[in-house]
Chain A
Amino acid sequence: MPKSKSAYSFAGKKEKLDTHIIVVWVDNEAGVLARVVGLFSGRGYNIESLAVAEIDQKLNISRITIVTTGTPQVVDQIKLQLKKLVPVHKVADFKREDKNVIFKEMALFKFVGANGKIDKAINACKKYNAVILDTTNRSKVIQITALRREIDKMANELKKYGLISISRTGAVAMTRGEKVFK
């Protein structure tokens, strides 16, 4: 097909993408997650991971943590669009490199096989706050909390020790020190 002269418009230059962690405080009401997620999909924004739960039962507030990538302009748009949603109270935005913010993800690993092998795996997990949650003769379930890329790495490395199932959460974030995001 010949190149059409009727281009709708041409996409501009490609810019560098940054990873941001967006934290949204929302009223915990029906459909609120769909509003937030629908905004991302409808406007073509990325979601790398998502964590959501109620944090204040009395005030009925949920905290949604979204890891996303975008150009600075897109990240700005994400924040401004989120703030326009009626059930949204406040929106925080942290760069992944930000040293003043703690990011954590949790993962559950299930290992099946000879005990010796599994022990090696547990050893390898030690620096990520490994907790053994379930043990049988031929299997173990352990929990680790770490950064996304650390979990990625472990998930890859532990396959040889009988890792057969992985379940993991999205990232959650909190600022260091006394400061609270207002």
Chain B
Amino acid sequence: MPKLFSGAEIVFKCLEDQDVSHIFGYPGGAVLPIYDELKNHNSVKHILVRHEQGAGHAAEGYARSTGKPGVVLVTSGPGATNVVTALTDAYMDSVPLVCISGQVPTHLIGTDAFQECDTTGITRPCTKHNWLVKDINDLAEIMHKAFEVATTGRPGPVLVDIPKDIQFQKAPYKKFKRKNKLNGASHNNFSQESINELINLMSKATKPIFYTGGGVINSGPKASELLRELVYTTGFPITTTLQGLGSFPGDDNQFLGMLGMHGTYEANNAMYECDLMINIGARFDDRITGKIDEFSPKSKKVHIDIDPSSINKNVKVDLAIVGDVKSVITSTLKTLKKSKPNFIKSNKQKTSKWWEKIQKWRSKRSLDYIGSEETIKPQYAIERLYELTKDKDTFITTEVGQHQMWAAQHYKFNKPNRWMTSGGLGTMGYGLPAAVGVQIAHPQKLVIDIAGEASVLMTIQEMSTAVQYSLPIKIFILNNEYMGMVRQWQELLHDKNYSESYTAALPDFVQMAEAYGCVGIRAKTPEELDDKIIEMLNTDRPVIFDCLVDKQENCFPMIPSGKPHNQMILGPKDKKENKITGKGRTLV
């Protein structure tokens, strides 16, 4: 007779077999048997958050900075509904999460029992798949399948709902057999012909561009290395999406910066004018494409993606290559070296005019802003933060809004997995708990959440988590007292009707830091900024940094939604030089 284990024990045996070292969670009635079992498993450390949404985002930060799946443990009812935002966020940004939720005992399901909700029903549209475990004999298999689904193909969140009686019941444990085919290998579905076709297009192009996204990061650090090799071998310019930052060095000359709504002038114009666009692991999101009918009208488009449903979803492409970025680039490089060993030489001349044009766009210096000696410009704050931290291996998370875009524009990333931001869903309150997760995964590294004062208040309670586990995360708040991005849209597009975008009562963040048991620092002038940032970096405890910035500053350049790439609005500095009055700015 095989040894029998309780459902709770099986959950932990599965976590151990999957090499899970940390779970983020919050206990409650319907998961108590699992929490009861926690003490018997030293290799799995539980991080107690203050809200289940925080658990989800922390697991996302953990997953994005390590490439391993993040694991979340919550109770039934409100525990499960609170984690829905994080699951949706992970679904949109392709982050592997495994969420285990407790459920009321099977005989109570459907009776509107205390803390009952239809968890699998609620999470069905925001997970890759979910399971309600109705038979203890299925539990082990479902748990392992959950990890497989979360981490293979295009990664994403999954949920396993385990009723309380199942957690008590006993069954033999089925050992898990690790498949060799994990991580996308089985999702490669491309032919050598399509690679040849790609190289054919590349050798013909006179105005090529690489447009790369989060898929490169999800494919693992090796994919970023290969991407660099590909870009250097071809000599083509490259722009990345918000999620792709870090896959290519941000300070390299071939890098045009981020593209999209708040992307650089050169990146967006190059996308508009190019004759060959090679999309690697990006998804033609509406913040990238602008007006779809006028999106890059003259180009042949190539799309490399692991998810077949991403192809032709928003933009019709001429060549689709379905596969893992790492494998596709490997094949491309191999074929390129064999068939066109002198590619870069022969190509240099062909693309020289293109580079001249790009230099011209570059000389607009679209990220420039008008400096100030009295108030801290938010862009300046990010620039100084970058300068003072660039020699360290720094991990940056963000909330959502203007500060997020400024961080993307002015902080330069050189390595993948160092930039954690909520792109698809745009979840305010993401950055602080994500920083908690990143710091758990990398205890010795510098982790900074570049935040806005409005966003950070949505999940500020997780400071308490950071203090409990001595996580020295730095919350760098660009405090302009406004929901800045909302204010900006209202200024530019809604006749300056600042409806409800000003927070008339904010907490004193320094006192708040002290109340939580961490360190509060405030910077008011550009003069003192550097010293204060250094003070923050030298503090080996969690810090809330209240950086008082210009309240009126807008994030430029900007493509107004519904407009194509070549109709950007540039910042006030450019306007002044071109002698265009401020009035023109509202005419978008």
Q: Name the distance in Å between A90's Cβ and chain B's nearest Cβ.
A: 14
Q: Is B340 an interface residue (CB 8 A)?
A: no
A15 to B209, CA, bound (A): 30
Q: With an 8 A cutoff between CB atoms, is A77 at the interface?
A: yes
How far in angstroms is the closest Cβ of chain A from B17?
21
The 4 closest A-B pairs by CB, nearest first: A80-B309, A6-B493, A86-B129, A7-B562
Chain B contacts to A: CB under 8 angstroms: 120-121, 124-125, 128-129, 132, 134, 149, 286, 291-293, 307-309, 311-313, 316, 489, 493-494, 560-562, 588
Looking at the assembled complex, report how far the CB atom of A10 sits from the nearest CB atom of chain B, in whole angstroms.
5
Offer 24 A-B interface pairs, CB within 8 angstroms, sorted by A: A4-B494, A5-B494, A5-B588, A6-B489, A6-B493, A6-B561, A7-B561, A9-B286, A9-B292, A9-B561, A10-B291, A12-B293, A30-B134, A31-B120, A34-B121, A34-B124, A35-B124, A38-B124, A73-B312, A80-B311, A83-B309, A85-B129, A86-B128, A86-B129
Residue in chain A with minimal CB distance to B129? A86
Contact between chains at A81 and B309 (CB < 8 Å): yes
Contact code string A1-40 (vs B, CB < 8 Å = 1, else 0): 0001111111011000000000000000011001100100
A residues near B120, Cβ cutoff 8 Å: 31
Verify A5–B124 contact, CB threshold 8 A: no
* Interface residue from B129, B316, B494 paired with A6 (Cβ < 8 Å): B494
Q: Which residues of B contact A81 (CB under 8 A)?
A: 309
> Closest chain A residue to B156 by CB distance?
A84
| Given known A84-B307, A86-B128, A86-B149, contact A9–B489 (CB-CB < 8 A) | no
**Nearest CB in chain B: distance from A178 CB, A:** 28
Cα distance, A126 to B489, chains bound together (Å): 66
Interface residue? A48 (CB, 8 A): no
Which partner residue on chain A sits nearest B307 by CB separation?
A84
Q: Which residues of A contact B493 (CB under 8 A)?
A: 4-6
Q: Nearest-CB distance from B147 to chain A (Å)?
A: 13
**Shortest CB distance A53–B (Å):** 22
A5 to B569, CA, bound (A): 14
The closest CB in chain A to the CB of B316 belongs to: A73
Is A38 a contact partner of B316 (Cβ separation < 8 A)? Answer: no
Across the interface, name the chain B residue whose C-beta is closest to A41: B125
Please determine whether B561 and A38 come into contact, CB atoms closer than 8 angstroms: no
Give the nearest-CB partner of B154 in chain A.
A84
Within 8 Å CB of B316, what residues of A? 73
Q: How many A-B residue pairs have CB under 8 A?
A: 56
Complex CA gap A6/B562 in Å reads 9
Residues of A within 8 A of B313 (CB): 73, 77
Give bound CA distance, A100 to B108, whole Å.
50
User: Cβ of A38: which chain B residues have Cβ within 8 Å of it?
Assistant: 124-125
Chain B nearest CB, measured from A24 CB (Å): 15
Q: Can you name the residue of chain A whose Cβ is closest to the Cβ of B149?
A: A86
Cβ A8 vs Cβ B124 within 8 A: no
A77-B309, A77-B313, A84-B309 as given contacts; A30 in contact with B561, CB under 8 Å: no
Q: Which residues of B contact A85 (CB under 8 A)?
A: 129
Report Cα–Cα, A10/B494, bound state, in Å: 17
Q: Which residues of chain B come closer than 8 Å to A44, judged between CB atoms?
A: none
Q: Is the CB of B562 within 8 A of A8?
A: yes
Q: Which residues of A contact B561 (CB under 8 A)?
A: 6-9
* B292 surroundings in chain A (CB, below 8 A): 9, 12
Report whether A83 and B494 are in contact in the complex, using a CB–CB cutoff of 8 Å. no
- Tell me the smallest distance from the CB of B500 to a CB of chain A, in Å: 15
Of A4, A6, A38, A81, most buried by chain B (CB within 10 Å of CB) is A6
A31 touching B308, Cβ below 8 Å = no
Across the interface, name the chain B residue whose C-beta is closest to A80: B309
Chain B residues whose C-beta falls within 8 Å of the C-beta of A73 in the assembled complex: 312-313, 316
CA distance A127 to B268 in the complex (A): 63
Q: What is the CB-to-nearest-CB distance from A128 to chain B, in angstroms, rounded to a whole number?
A: 39
When C-beta atoms are compared, the residue in chain A nearest to B120 turns out to be A31
Complex Cα gap A42–B125 (Å): 8
- Which residues from A are CB-within-8-Å of B134? 30
**Contact in complex: A9, B124 (CB < 8 Å):** no
Residues of B within 8 A of A13 (CB): 293
Give complex CA distance A86, B152 in Å. Answer: 12
Q: Can you name the residue of chain A whose Cβ is closest to the Cβ of B124?
A: A38
* Chain A positions within 8 Å of B308 at CB level: 80, 83
In the complex, whether A76 has a CB less than 8 A from a CB of chain B is yes
Task: Give every chain A residue within 8 A of B307 (Cβ-Cβ).
Answer: 84
Instruction: Kindly list chain B residues whose C-beta atoms are within 8 Å of the C-beta of A34.
Output: 121, 124
Q: Could you tell me the distance between the alpha carbons of A179 and B482 in the complex, rounded to whole angstroms?
A: 65
Q: Nearest Cβ in chain B — how far from A4, in angstroms?
A: 7
Residues of A within 8 A of B494 (CB): 4-6
Assembled-state Cα–Cα distance A10/B128 (Å): 29
Q: Return chain B residues, CB-CB under 8 Å to A35.
A: 124
The smallest C-beta distance from A3 to any residue of chain B, in angstroms, reads 12
Q: Report the minimum CB–CB distance from A167 to chain B (whole Å).
A: 28
Report the separation of the CA atoms of residues A150 and B528 in the bound assembly, to the nearest whole angstrom. Answer: 81
Q: B152 to nearest A CB, angstroms?
A: 11
Q: Return the chain A residue nearest B158 by Cβ.
A: A86
What is the distance, in angstroms, from B338's C-beta to the closest C-beta of chain A? 33
- Which B residue's beta carbon lies closest to that of A87? B129
CB distance from B260 to the nearest CB of A (A): 13
Q: Which chain A residues border B124 with CB–CB below 8 Å?
A: 31, 34-35, 38
* CA gap between A42 and B174 in the complex, in Å: 36
A31 and chain B: residue at smallest CB distance: B120
- Closest chain B CB from A11 CB (angstroms): 9
